[in-house]
Amino acid sequence: MSNIEQFKNRNVSEEYFLVDIEDYPTDGWGKFKRVVKRTFQGELFVGLWVVLREMIKFDIHTVQYPKEKMPIGPRYRAVHEMKRLWESGTERCIGCGLCEKICISDCIRMETKIDENSRKEVSEYSINLGRCIFCGYCAEVCPELAITHGGRYENASEQRAHFVMYEDMLTPIDMLKAGQQQEFEGFGAITPHEDERVKKTPLAY
């Protein structure tokens, strides 16, 4: 139990100190002294040096977005993806209708029928991304991991009809054959490079 002692220190850094704040001067002479002190303290030049230093260091943090993109976490909930079965290449969706039922913004719609082999077949499946709030319930409720969320967040379009294109969401068959279908890592998956980003929590609970 001695190990817990190190977490009882609630300061992130040992360098914290209380700032010494003087009382405001009340008489004219005190105010004059404060003005003179502030004038010749050179604090303005500290500010100038700080920004010049950053300019010289040239440590640019800009991400030039259309050309460069930040890595996105596996848990990110962007445009849906419809997966295929690895072995046969057919769609994973079994038409159970759970996603349609649970969708709180009513944007999933599917039509099913019994095909010639007496199996349930999905004849129409659409997600209106213009209405979708990307809550993730559909992916969570899917028993087959057929509908998941992907990382494709650029879904601006000129036409609303583009927001319901099932073909865009379904893994293309050639990508599947090339083994490029991204498997859903599951809820609670860890973002890449997460270890480097972990910081000590300021408060130990």
Partner 1 sequence: MDMAYLIETVVKIVVIMLIFSALAGLGTYFERKVLAFMQRRLGPMSVGPYGLLQVAADGIKLFTKEDIIPQNVVAPIFKFAPVITAATAFMAAAAIPFWPQFTVLGYTVHPIVADTEIGLLYVLAVMAIGLYGLLLGGMASANKFSLISAARTAAIFISYEVVTGLSLLAPIMIVGSLSLIDFNNYQAGGVSHWLVWTQPVAFILFWIAAFAETGRTPFHLIANDHEIIDGFGTEYSGMRWGLFFIGEYANMFFISFVIALVFLGGFGDGGLGGALALIAKVSFFFFFFLWTRAAWPDVRPDQLMWLCWKVLMPLAVVNVVVTGLVMMF
Least separation, in Å, of the C-beta of 193 and partner 1? 21
10 binds partner 1 (CB under 8 A): no
Least separation, in Å, of the C-beta of 59 and partner 1? 6
The interface region with partner 1, picked from 55-63, 84-92, 113-121, 182-190 by CB under 8 A, is 55-63
Instruction: Let me know: does 136 contact 78? Beta carbons within 8 Å.
Output: no
Least separation, in Å, of the C-beta of 68 and partner 1? 11
For partner 1, which residue of 25, 30, 42, 47 counts as binding (CB under 8 A)?
A: 47
User: For residues 47 and 186, which CB has a smaller minimum distance to partner 1 in the complex?
Assistant: 47
Hey, what are 119's tokens? Answer: 């199996």
Give dist(CA 186, CA 52) in Å, integer: 47
The interface region with partner 1, picked from 52-60, 75-83, 111-119, 123-131 by CB under 8 A, is 52-60
52 binds partner 1 (CB under 8 A): yes
**Amino acid at residue number 194:** E
User: For residues 55 and 156, which CB has a smaller minimum distance to partner 1 in the complex?
Assistant: 55
Least separation, in Å, of the C-beta of 69 and partner 1? 16
**CB proximity list for 6: less than 8 A, separation 6 or greater:** none
Among residues 181, 193, 155, 192, the alpha carbon closest in space to that of 74 is found at 192
For partner 1, which residue of 9, 34, 38, 44 counts as binding (CB under 8 A)?
A: 44
Residues that bind partner 1 (CB under 8 A): 35, 44, 47-48, 50-52, 54-55, 58-62, 64
